[in-house]
Structure 1
Amino acid sequence: MLYALEVPSQGGDTYWLNLNLAYETLDEATKRRIADLQLITYNPFLRDRSASKTKYRLDRNIPLISPVFPHPLVRIHPESGKKILYLDYATEVEVVGLEPEEGAELIEQLRQHLNQPQFYYQHKWSVGDIVYWDNQATLHYRQAFDANERRVMKRVSLAGSRPF
């Protein structure tokens, strides 16, 4: 949950992406193709900061700084049972078992699919607003705003189920 205490005069909106709707609108061939795939999402905070940023791990010769944990590319929500396309935009990833070029092409196709307005909710904040969301089934990000203004929120996070 976020509770708005101060909001900038312009910008600072929050966008949420419905990952279930993104999955449901995939064509059937793509759903079959990704049904059992595992994805490794690399932690951007555990990277060599001097290395160039990539969105797909093409060079497997670069040593890893952190452990890796594969997870399903298609996740089943633990409460609703709905399928979720469990992927974000900018974090470096790798599809387990696919050649790097094939995996990179698939991920780029899925990320292009995610980038459609019908999957988003945009919230323009007013002081006093409270918004809550299911972090297991959405992505979210904040729009930029003037650095001379403030955006002050209180955040409450509730414990949930295992991520997959």
Structure 2
Amino acid sequence: MSLRNPRRSRWGGCQKWTPYPSSGSLLYALEVPNEGGDTYWLNLNLAYETLDESIKRRIADLQLITYNPFLNQPNTPRSKYRLDKSIPLISPVFPHPLVRTHPESGKKILYLDYATEVEVVGLDPQEGSELIEQLRSHLHQPRFYYQHKWSVGDIVYWDNQATLHYRQAFDPNQRRVMKRISLAGSRPF
């Protein structure tokens, strides 16, 4: 798979809009740009652990719906929170815990994508939007990130259950070609 969208950086999730999100992924670098194109991973366990205790209590039992971003019209603004309930759903939705338990480690994970449209089940849309904005603001801290500068031949594996990944923009005259494998996952709990 070629990841070549040079002008825009992009966040990647693990298909949180499906009933069984991916458990992990691997990238193999075939071609890399001279500058840019780095990948950053965000540690969602560390993000959860550093939340205020009152926020942890508030979000402990909440369910989150993540909407499939690939169903949006190309080049149209994307909402980060579903405020308009009158928009018909195009595909089924699968609520998952906002605070997920990692199936192997048992650690708590703030199971929230950074930029995909979401909705907190059972909360007033305005209250849900404000909560998600607060949590996303918390995620945007350098202490949660690992940055990988790619070299040809690198293979990197990551746990999609506990991280988000982000691809840095790069020169549109350069190429970035990666092979990707994603592994099947389980129902979040």
One fold, TM greater than 0.5? yes
Equivalence for 1:78: 103
Rg: which structure is higher?
1
How large is the RMSD of aligned CA atoms in angstroms? 1.6
Per-residue CA deviation, residues 53-111 of structure 1 (Å, 9 max, x unaligned), is 21111111121111111110000000000000000111111100110110000000000
Q: Percent identity?
A: 85
Q: How does 1:7-156 map to 2 (within 5 A)?
A: 7-47=32-72, 52-156=77-181
The answer (yes or no) to whether the contact 2:41–2:164 under 8 Å persists in 1 is yes
Bigger mean CA deviation after superposition, 45-54 or 18-27: 45-54
The answer (yes or no) to whether the contact 2:101–2:188 under 8 Å persists in 1 is no
The answer (yes or no) to whether the contact 1:40–1:70 under 8 Å persists in 2 is yes
Instruction: State how far apart, in whole Å, the 1-side matches of 2:67 and 2:28 are.
Output: 30
- The equivalent position to 1:2 in structure 2, one of 13, 27, 36, is 27
The answer (yes or no) to whether the contact 1:12–1:151 under 8 Å persists in 2 is yes
Runs (4+) of structure 1 exceeding 6 A deviation are none
The answer (yes or no) to whether the contact 1:48–1:65 under 8 Å persists in 2 is no
Q: Which amino acid aligns with 1:28?
A: E
Instruction: State how far apart, in whole Å, the 1-side matches of 2:147 and 2:76 are.
Output: 33
Aligned length: 164
Q: Which amino acid aligns with 1:124?
A: K
